Amino acid sequence: MHCVSSAIKVIMDYNLREEFDLLLNQVTNKIEIIKEIGIPLILNDTCHILEKIRNEIKDCHKCVLADSRNQAVSGEGSSTARLVFVSDFPGEESNNKGKFYLGNTGKLLNKIIEVTGIDGRDVYVTNAIKCFVPENHKPDDKEIESCREFLFKELERISPVLICAMGEIPIKAILNIDEKIKDMHGKNYFFSGIKVIPTFSLNDCLINEEHKRLVWEDIKVIMKILNLPFKNVLSKVK
C-alpha cells in the first residue's frame, strides 16, 4: 500500500492527474468487460483453434498414410472437456465418412461414455493417428510422429482433467513409452501436467474378452478420479 500511495503522489506531483484518471477509467472498463464476456471469448477462441487444427489435419500429407486415406478424421467433442479419449486410428467406416463413433469400435466407445455417466459436454474423442491404416500395416515411428503435433495441439488447447490413452499407439504418441500395456494399464502417468490413464485399445476389446474386462476396470479408475459414481458399472456393460 505504501508503494501504491507513493506512486500516486509522484503522478500528482507531475501534474498528470488527468492522464492518471483516464488510464484508471480505461483499465476499470476493460476489467468489467472481461468479467462480463471473458469466458465466452476464451471458449470461442478454443473452438476457433480446434477448427484450425481440423483444417490442418485435412490438408496434411506428411507421411504415406495420406495416400491410402479417403478422409482424415479429426477429434470431436467439447472444447472444454474434462475427459479426452485417445484411440489409435480411424476404422474403415470412419475413413469413408470422416466421422467418429462408427463401426463396432465406435459403438463400444459410445457404451463406455454412456456407462460413465459423464455429461457429453465433458468429453472429447480423438485418434493418435488421423488417417486410416491399411490392414496388416503397423504404424511406424515416423507416422506416429507426423500426427503427434496435431494430437498435442488438441490436448494442450482443451487441457482436460484426464486423458484415457486407448492402446499401444496413443500411449507411444502421448507418453513416448514402449512398455507393454498389461504393465501400464490403469496406472497414473502425466502429459504436460494432465493425468493420463493407459488402457487397451478398442480393437483389442472386440477380440479379447480379458482385455475388455480390464478396460472396464480401468474405466472405474477414471470415474473415481473424476468423482463419478461407479457402483454398478460391470452389471451395466454385460
pLDDT, residue 8, reads 45
* Domain boundaries defined on the chain: 40-237
Nearest Cα neighbor of 84 from 216, 195, 206, 213 is 195
**In the CATH scheme, what architecture does the domain 40-237 have?**
3-Layer(aba) Sandwich (3.40)
Q: What does the pLDDT read at residue 98?
A: 76
| Dihedral pair phi/psi, residue 212, rounded to 5° | -60, -45
Tell me if 222 sits within 8 A of 116, measured CB to CB. Answer: yes
| Half-sphere exposure at residue 8, Cβ-oriented, CA atoms within 13 angstroms | 7
pLDDT score of 35: 42
Show pLDDT as tens, one digit a residue, over the chain (238 residues): 444 444 444 444 545 555 555 555 555 454 444 444 444 444 556 788 888 888 888 888 888 888 888 888 888 999 999 999 999 988 888 877 777 777 888 889 999 998 888 888 899 999 998 888 887 688 888 889 999 999 999 999 999 999 999 999 999 999 998 889 999 999 999 999 999 999 999 999 999 999 999 999 999 999 999 998 865 554 455 5
The pLDDT assigned to 92 comes to: 80
Q: What is the DSSP string of 164-191?
A: EEESHHHHHHHH---S-HHHHTT--EEE
